[in-house]
Chains A and B, each alone.
Chain A
Amino acid sequence: MSEAAAHHDAHHEHHATGMMRWLTTTNHKDIGTMYLIFSLIMFFIGGSMAMIIRLELFQPGLQFVNPQFFNSMTTMHALVMIFGAVMPAWTGFANWLVPLMIGAPDMALPRLNNWSFWILPFAFSLLLGTLFMPGGAPAGGWTMYPPLVLQTGEAFPFLIFAVHFMGASSIAGAINIIATVFNMRAPGMTLMKLPLFVWTWIITAFLLIASIPVLAGAVTMLLTDKFFGTSFFSAAGGGDPVMFQHIFWFFGHPEVYILILPAFGIASAIIPTFARKPLFGYSSMVYAAAAIAFLSFIVWAHHMFTVGMPLAGELFFMYATVLIAVPTGVKVFNWVATMWQGSMTFETPMLFAIAFVVLFTIGGFSGLMLGVTPVDFQYHDTYFVVAHFHYVLVTGAIYSLIAGTYFWLPKMTGHMYDEKLGKLHFWLSTISVNVLFFPQHFLGLAGMPRRIPDYAVQFADWNMVSSIGGFVFGASQLLFVIGIVKCIRGGEKATAQVWEGAHGLEWTLPSPAPYHTFSEPPPAASIEGGMR
C-alpha cells in the first residue's frame, strides 16, 4: 500500500478492488452510495414487516400471526424504518451532496465516515437477529417503555446494544457533517449562501448530537435496571416508570425533526428548480428550521399528556407544541410562494416534492389536533396517531427521499432515469398511500387502539381498505428499485446541469460526478450562480 501510494500523487491513491474497496473506502461518494443502498434494503425489510401488519389487520380476528409476533412486527418495523431506513438515507444524501454543494473535496473526517457507516450492518444484524431468538424479537413498542420492555426475552440486551450502535453511528455522521461544513467550505461560500439542504442538515446534526446521547443514557438505565439491580424506573426501588417516558421523549421529539428537517432541505432544492424561480424567503427558511429545532427540545411531554401531568404542565406543552406550527407554516408558505407564477414542469422529482408539501401539511394538521391537550385525551394511542405520523414520515420524509433520489440520480449515475416509470411510481404510490393512511384517521377517531393484532368488527371495513392501499403501496416501491437499477445500468446520457432550472455547485460538475471533485475550490462566479 505505501509502495503503491508512493507512485501516485495524493489525489489518485491506490484503490482496493472488489469487496475490499467498499470496506476500506474513504471516498464520500462511495460511502454515500453505501448508506443509500443500505437504507433502501432496510426500507424493504421494514416494509415487509408493515405488509405482515396490514395482512393480519385485513380482517378482524387472528388469521396469520400470533399476537406476540404481531407486536414484534410493529416494534421492529418502527426501529428498522427510523434508524435503518430514514436516518441512514439522510446521512447518505449528506455524504454525496454536502461536499459537492459547498465545493469541498471530501468530508472532513473520511476515516470516521467509513467507520460510522460500517457500524450499521453490525447494529442491524444485532437487531434483526433477535427475530430468531427464543422469546422472539422485542415486542414492547419502539418507545421501549418500562416495565413492559423489561419483559423482553433474550432479545433485550441485543435491542439495547443495537440502539447504542445506531446512536454511535449517527453521532459520528453528525460530527463529520458539522466539521465538513464549518471547516471545508470553498472560499466565498458564506453561511448564508449555503444551499438549504446543507443548512437543514447542519441543524439536524446538532439535534443528533444533543438528543441521541440522552437516548443512549435512557437505554443504559434500562439495561442496568434489568441486569444490575438499579431502580431508575422501578417503583419498588423508589424509581418511576413515567420518568423513562420523560427522558425518552426528550430524545424522541428532536428525533422526529431529525427525520424531517433534511426533507425540508430537499423540497427547498427541488421546488425552485422546476418552478424556475429562486426559492422564496431563503433566510426565513433558515431561521424557521432553527426555530423548529429549538422548539423541539421543549415540547416532549405532548407525547404523554395522559400520564397525569399537572394542568400547568399540560398547558405549557400544548402552547409550545402549537407554536411549532408557526415556523412550519412559514416553510409551507415559502414553498407555495416559490411555485406561484413559476414556469412549472412536472418531472417525477417535482411531483414527489409537490405531493410532499401537500401530504406533509395534512400530517402537520393532524399533529396540531394531537397537540391540543383535551382532544389528545381522546386520540392518544389510537390509529389517529398512526395516521398522523405516517403522513409526516411516509409522505413527508420518505417522499422527499424518493424525490431527492430521482432528482440527483442522474448526477450520481450519469444517466436519466426512466421518466415514464417514475411517473407510474409516483401516481401508484400517491393514490395508494392515501388509501392506506387516510382511513386510519377515521379508525382512530372511532376509537381503534394502535399496536393490536385484532379489533372490533365495527373497524373491519376501513381496515380492509387500508390494507389494500398498503399492499399496492408496498408493491409500487418495487417500481422505484427497478427505476434505480435501470438508471445505474444505462439510459439517456445526463448533461452536467441535468435540469434546465438547476442551480448550485453540484450542477457545475459533469454527470456522473467524477470520483474526485473540487480538488481545487470552485470559482466565485459559480458560487454566486447557485444563489440566483
Chain B
Amino acid sequence: MASTSVQRTANRKLVGQLLVLTAMMFGFGYALVPLYNVFCEVTGINGKTGRLSQVQAATLVPDKAREITVEFVTNVNAGLPWNFRPLQDKVVVHPGVLTSVAFEMGNRANYGIVGQAIPSLAPQTAARYFSKTECFCFARQPLAAGEQKTVPVRFIIDPKIPADVDRVTLSYTFFEAPPAPEPQAAVKGSAPNT
C-alpha cells in the first residue's frame, strides 16, 4: 500500500511538471510573434523600412559619388475599390540626400473607406538602410466617397548601404484598415497633405 502512495505522489509530481511544460510551450507559440518581429527588425529581412526624424536624416552625409535607382510599385488588396499609383515610376538618388516623391490614391466607391498601406522593400538586404521621414503609410488614410488625393513620401538612403546595391524597389499595398484604430499611428507621422 505504501508503494502505491509513493507512486501516486511521483505521478502527481511528474504530471504537474509535464503540464507546466505544455503551458510553457503554448506560451512559446505566442512568444514567437514578438520574437519574429524583433528578428525581422534587427536583420531587416522582412523588407520593412525604417523611419527617421528630419533631424536624424540631416546628420547623414550625402555620397554624391553613388547613384541608386529607386523604383515604385503599388498594389491594392483584393476587395478594396481604390486607385493607387506612383506619380513617378522611378527616381535616381544619391545616398544621404532626402528625396520627395508622390503617390496618387482615389476611392471609387460611393462610401467612405479607411485604408492602410503596408510598405516592402526589395532587395531585403537594403531595407535596413532605407528610411522615411514622411509617409502616408505611417497613418491610416480615410478617403470619402469618390475622393482623390496626392500624398507624399520623403525618404533617405543611408550611405552605408552595401556597395553592390544600385537599384531598390519600394512597393506599397493598400489594405482596408482593420476596424480597431492603432494608437501608435498618430504620434510621429507628419500630416499627409498635398
Q: Which residues of B contact A332 (CB under 8 A)?
A: none
B14 located at the interface, meaning its Cβ lies under 8 Å from any Cβ of chain A in the complex: yes
Contact code string A92-112 (vs B, CB < 8 Å = 1, else 0) = 000000000000000011000
Contact code string A109-123 (vs B, CB < 8 Å = 1, else 0) = 100000000000000
Cα distance A232–B32 in the bound complex, in angstroms: 11
Chain B at the A interface: mostly helix, strand, loop or mixed?
helix
Q: Which residues of A contact B38 (CB under 8 A)?
A: none
B83 located at the interface, meaning its Cβ lies under 8 Å from any Cβ of chain A in the complex: no
Out of A182, A211, A215, A236, name the residue touching B175 (CB < 8 Å): A236
Contact code string A234-268 (vs B, CB < 8 Å = 1, else 0) = 11111010010011001100000000000000000
A213 touches B25 (CB 8 A): yes
Out of A210, A235, A247, name the residue touching B173 (CB < 8 Å): A235
Cα distance A216–B32 in the bound complex, in angstroms: 13
Name A233's closest neighbour in chain B (CB-CB).
Answer: B33
Cα distance A470–B45 in the bound complex, in angstroms: 43
Cα distance A218–B37 in the bound complex, in angstroms: 16
In the complex, the number of residue pairs spanning A and B with C-beta atoms less than 8 Å apart equals 99
B54 located at the interface, meaning its Cβ lies under 8 Å from any Cβ of chain A in the complex: no
In residues 293-315 of chain A, which contact B (Cβ within 8 Å)? 308-310, 313
A184 located at the interface, meaning its Cβ lies under 8 Å from any Cβ of chain B in the complex: yes
Q: Which residues of B contact A372 (CB under 8 A)?
A: none
A236 touches B77 (CB 8 A): yes
Out of B18, B173, B182, name the residue touching A175 (CB < 8 Å): B18
Chain A at the B interface: mostly helix, strand, loop or mixed?
helix
Name B28's closest neighbour in chain A (CB-CB).
Answer: A214
Cα distance A175–B16 in the bound complex, in angstroms: 10
Q: Which residues of A contact B36 (CB under 8 A)?
A: 240, 243, 246
Name B78's closest neighbour in chain A (CB-CB).
Answer: A147
Q: Which residues of B contact A143 (CB under 8 A)?
A: none
Cα distance A182–B14 in the bound complex, in angstroms: 9
Question: Interface size (B, Cβ < 8 Å)?
Answer: 37
B15 touches A109 (CB 8 A): yes
B162 located at the interface, meaning its Cβ lies under 8 Å from any Cβ of chain A in the complex: no
Q: Which residues of A contact B29 (CB under 8 A)?
A: 213-218, 247, 250-251
A236 touches B118 (CB 8 A): yes
A134 located at the interface, meaning its Cβ lies under 8 Å from any Cβ of chain B in the complex: no
In residues 307-356 of chain A, which contact B (Cβ within 8 Å)? 308-310, 313
B179 to chain A, nearest CB (A): 6
B157 to chain A, nearest CB (A): 20
B18 touches A250 (CB 8 A): no
Query: For A109, A179, A216, which residue has the most chain B Cβ atoms within 10 angstroms?
Result: A179
Out of B22, B45, B77, name the residue touching A209 (CB < 8 Å): B22
Interface range for A: 35 or more
A178 touches B32 (CB 8 A): no
B21 touches A210 (CB 8 A): yes
A229 located at the interface, meaning its Cβ lies under 8 Å from any Cβ of chain B in the complex: yes
Cα distance A217–B31 in the bound complex, in angstroms: 10
With A234-B178, A250-B32, A310-B124 as contacts: A108 and B11 at CB distance below 8 Å: yes
A231 located at the interface, meaning its Cβ lies under 8 Å from any Cβ of chain B in the complex: yes
The 7 A-B residue pairs with the shortest CB-CB distance in the complex, in nearest-first order: A217-B29, A236-B175, A213-B26, A213-B25, A214-B29, A237-B178, A175-B18
What are 9 A-B interface contacts by the 8 Å CB criterion? A109-B11, A175-B15, A210-B25, A214-B29, A217-B29, A229-B179, A235-B175, A236-B77, A236-B116
**Residues of B at under 8 Å CB distance from A?**
7, 10-11, 14-15, 18-19, 21-23, 25-30, 32-33, 36-37, 40, 43, 45-46, 77, 116, 118, 124-125, 173, 175-180, 182
**Residues of A at under 8 Å CB distance from B?**
108-109, 171, 174-175, 178-179, 182-184, 209-218, 221, 229, 231-232, 234-238, 240, 243, 246-247, 250-251, 308-310, 313
Task: Give 10 A-B pairs besides A213-B29, A229-B178, A234-B178 with Cβ atoms closer than 8 angstroms.
Answer: A109-B11, A175-B22, A209-B25, A210-B25, A221-B30, A236-B77, A236-B116, A236-B176, A247-B32, A309-B45
